[in-house]
Amino acid sequence: MNAASQNHAARLREISRLVDDRPSERIFQVDRRIFSDPAVFDAELRHIFEATWNFIGLESQVARPNDFVTTHIGRHPILVMRSADGKVGAFLNTCRHRGTVVCPFKQGRQKFHVCRYHGWAYDSSGRNISVTEEASGQYPPSFSNQNHDLLPVARLGSYRGFLFASLSADVPQLEEFLGDTRAFLDLIIDQSDSGEVEFVPGASTYTFDANWKLQFENGLDYYHFATTHSSYVDILKKRNATAGPDAGFTVEPGGEQEGQGSFSFDYGHAVNWSIKRTQLYGRPLGMDPARLDAVRQRVGSTRAKWMLRQRNLTIFPNLQVIDILSAQVRTWRPLAPDKTEMVSHCLAPVGESAAARTLRIRNYEDFFNASGLASSDDNVMYEFCQTGYDATSAAPTQGYLRGVADIGHGESAHTRELGITPSEWSFGPTSFGGETNFHPGYREWHRLLQHAAGETA
Amino acid sequence: MAGGAIKQTDVHAVAGATIFREARLLDSGEWADWVAMYSEDAVYWVPGWLDEYTTTNDPDTQVSLLYHDARRGLEERIARIESRKSITALPLPRTVHQISNLEASETGPDEITCHSVFSVHVYDPRVAKEHLRHGRYAHTLRREGDTWKIARKVITLVNDRVPTVLDFYSI
């Protein structure tokens, strides 16, 4: 190891210590600098986003041969394509010749992608099919020995149509990485009789001027809901006074204890969920009793019960899947320490009724994104936090301790129902809003930085 | 032109008066008066974008940026802001709507269709940041008694990567 890399490793270790995690002392603190320091931000892109599995889309976005979508992993532009013979591939969206972005479009269908700069061409399997005027190029022999194909990502995997990719090969198998989060993806996917989900056409992209981890935390945070979203709750309560059966309200089975809980998993993932007697909103699955019965027959009453509970799933580092009044898949792309781009899709089971689909869309528009009545408040709140984090000399924030006095380990009634073995769980009254489910993300953040520094975590 | 039909100059005058008044009421925060310009069953629609060239065309099967099929949806948005509980309005951004390229034509009995373009300058006094939303309006105006109501407004937002908040006052 040379001096430069030793310095880099030392800096990464120093950054990783900004998360102060001492479970036996019941201390969990996050230094404010983690949200604003450019050195932290660079380390996160390189050693977290560009070093582990990222969600890059649904297989159904590239359903047919030669379909493509473009996205990002960290800073890297990515081109996802289905080849002419039906195989999904993910490639760095950069020409082998001079680095030009090969495909500048969001999505479409093309057999070939021709670089606009000098005309090098690639087919939908990423293979280079033309180096323009190669014969007259006076290339040295070494050139023809080089591979000119688009560079594939190091790892690509799919879990029931959810595509994940990693720029580093030094990652666990996808199944291991996802672990028990698969049970929560299943709870959405199995709402479809055919076991397929799709994005409803019409994605939203928006930005907020705050660090990406504000979104990561907020998606796991029920504590904020009553305060931040009180204006939205007022609207819902008013609407609910006159809501008919079409609103999709369902009831918990008798004997269920109301409450709010979370599960923490390895590799940074977590889910928060709630059991409520009085719902604030209905959901598409609840609006058609016959269809709900059919789903219940197919998946069993226990899993059907969980399908009707609100669940916010975070798959670290870039994905949240929210199944509440509608279903949302949202990903974030860090643009700067204080700027984040969000891409949001409405997620839907294939095969639901037209009425359920329309309710899903209306509910999604109502709640989510910069134009929604709830998420817009979150976006502004992130910016308020980012401004407050400029008080760098202030003590660490006190936002990671709700639930720390009573962290659950091993089995619970809820883990048994779901057949999962989370590393930790929490459960409290509906007003609980635990914060221990932020910990796994920060532990994975710490592990990846330590790993990059060459230490054993 | 059939007997009793309004003249083209009147059509253009009605359209301009309505659309410019709407812009002024939005910028001055006179939202009760603004929303009263809409008929009760008004459609207020900001389509999403499917790709670089195409907007969504069916709100029931595709996701819009905003879609309300009754004035009530706009009234809820106003009530949310006026409750002083939504942080998106604490403080509320200042806006200036600029509208031009207005074309208007009579498209039915007591119905005028207008096309125009807009720029909305949005300034957030909280952080002294500003941004510009721009796009196209298509208004359908309908005569209800002595007044012209907005029966339908379709807003094609050209720059749809939205910073932080998108609401009725910023487009």
Contact flag A204-B165 (C-beta cutoff 8 Å): no
A232, HSE (Cβ side, Cα atoms, 13 Å): 22
Q: Which residues from chain A sit within 8 angstroms of residue B164, using beta carbons?
A: 206-209, 370, 376, 379-380, 383
Report yes or no on B2 lying in a domain.
no
Which residue in chain B has the smallest CA separation from A69? Answer: B51
pLDDT in tens, B84-100: 999 999 999 999 999 99
Q: Which residues from chain B sit within 8 angstroms of residue A376, using beta carbons?
A: 86, 88, 164-167
Which residues, in sequence order, are CB contacts of A313 under 8 Å at separation 6+?
Answer: A181, A184, A185, A269, A270, A271, A320, A321, A322, A323
Shortest distance between the Cα of B65 and any Cα of chain A, in A, equals 6
Cα three-residue angle B100-B104-B110, rounded to 5 degrees: 140
**CATH number for position B113:** 3.10.450.50
Shortest distance between the Cα of A455 and any Cα of chain B, in A, equals 39
Contact flag A231-B86 (C-beta cutoff 8 Å): yes
Contact flag A370-B164 (C-beta cutoff 8 Å): yes
* A204, A231, A362 member nearest B48 (Cβ): A204
- Whether the Cβ atoms of residue A369 and residue A359 lie closer than 8 Å to each other: no
What ipTM goes with this model? 0.96
Shortest distance between the Cα of A173 and any Cα of chain B, in A, equals 34
Contact flag B63-A201 (C-beta cutoff 8 Å): yes
Cα radius of gyration rounded to whole Å, chain B: 16
Contact flag B162-A384 (C-beta cutoff 8 Å): no
Domain with B24, as residue range(s), is 8-170
End-to-end CA distance of chain B: 35
Q: How confident is the model at residue A3 (pLDDT cuts 50, 70, 90)?
A: confident
pLDDT in tens, A321-364: 999 999 999 999 999 999 999 999 999 999 999 999 999 999 99
Cα three-residue angle A164-A166-A167, rounded to 5 degrees: 150
Share of chain A above pLDDT 70, in %: 99
Q: Which residues from chain A sit within 8 angstroms of residue B133, using beta carbons?
A: none
The 10 Å Cβ neighbour count of residue A153 is 22
Nearest-angstrom CA–CA distance, A50 and A43: 10
Q: Which residues from chain B sit within 8 angstroms of residue A357, using beta carbons?
A: 60-61
Residue-level pLDDT at B5: 56
Domain ranges of chain A: 54-158, 178-452
Q: How confident is the model at residue A1 (pLDDT cuts 50, 70, 90)?
A: low
Tokens of A348: 């839907």
Contact flag A209-B127 (C-beta cutoff 8 Å): yes
Q: What is the mean pLDDT of residues B36-60?
A: 98
Q: What is the mean pLDDT of residues A97-120?
A: 98
pLDDT in tens, A116-156: 999 999 999 999 999 999 999 999 999 999 999 999 999 99
Q: Which residues from chain A sit within 8 angstroms of residue B166, using beta carbons?
A: 206, 369-371, 376
Q: How many independent structural domains does chain B possess?
A: 1
Q: Which residues from chain B sit within 8 angstroms of residue A388, using beta carbons?
A: none
Report yes or no on B32 lying in a domain.
yes
Helix, strand, coil shares, percent, chain A, to 5: 35, 25, 40
A178-452 belongs to CATH 3.10.200.10: no
Contact flag A364-B63 (C-beta cutoff 8 Å): yes
pLDDT in tens, A352-390: 999 999 999 999 999 999 999 999 999 999 999 999 999
pLDDT in tens, A284-306: 999 989 999 999 999 999 999 99
Nearest-angstrom CA–CA distance, A22 and A24: 6
Q: Which residues from chain A sit within 8 angstroms of residue B80, using beta carbons?
A: 231-232, 234-235, 373
DSSP code, position A116: T
Q: Which of A105, A360, A365, A367 to mutate to test the interface with B (most CBs of B within 10 A)?
A: A365
Superfamily for the A54-158 domain = Rieske [2Fe-2S] iron-sulphur domain (2.102.10.10)
Chain A and chain B share a number of CB contacts under 8 A equal to 124
Task: State phi, psi for A78 to the nearest 5 degrees.
Answer: -125, 140
Residues of chain A in Cβ contact (below 8 Å) with chain B: 105-108, 200-209, 228, 230-232, 234-235, 341, 346, 354, 357-358, 361-362, 364-365, 369-371, 373, 376-377, 379-381, 383-384, 387
Which residue in chain B has the smallest CA separation from A381? Answer: B87
Q: Which of A380, A386, A390 to mutate to test the interface with B (most CBs of B within 10 A)?
A: A380
pTM attached to this predicted model: 0.96
* A202, A354, A379 member nearest B62 (Cβ): A202
Contact flag A206-B166 (C-beta cutoff 8 Å): yes
Residue-level pLDDT at B1: 44
Region of B132 please: left (phi>0), alpha (psi -120 to 50) or beta. beta
Whether the predicted pLDDT of A457 surpasses 50: no
Which residue in chain A has the smallest CA separation from B163? Answer: A207
Residues of chain B in Cβ contact (below 8 Å) with chain A: 46-52, 56, 59-67, 76-77, 79-81, 83, 85-88, 126-127, 129, 160-167
pLDDT in tens, B121-159: 999 998 899 999 999 999 999 999 999 999 999 999 999
Contact flag B162-A354 (C-beta cutoff 8 Å): no
Residue-level pLDDT at A455: 63
**B85-88, long-range: CB < 8 A, 24+ apart:** B85/A230, B85/A231, B85/A234, B86/A231, B86/A232, B86/A376, B86/A377, B87/A228, B87/A377, B87/A380, B87/A381, B87/A384, B88/A376, B88/A377, B88/A380, B88/B165, B88/B167
Residue-level pLDDT at A288: 87
Report yes or no on B3 lying in a domain.
no
Residue-level pLDDT at A456: 45
Round the average pLDDT of chain A to a whole number and report it.
Answer: 96
Q: Which residues from chain A sit within 8 angstroms of residue B157, using beta carbons?
A: none
CA distances from A49 to A54, A166, A437 (A): 7, 8, 20
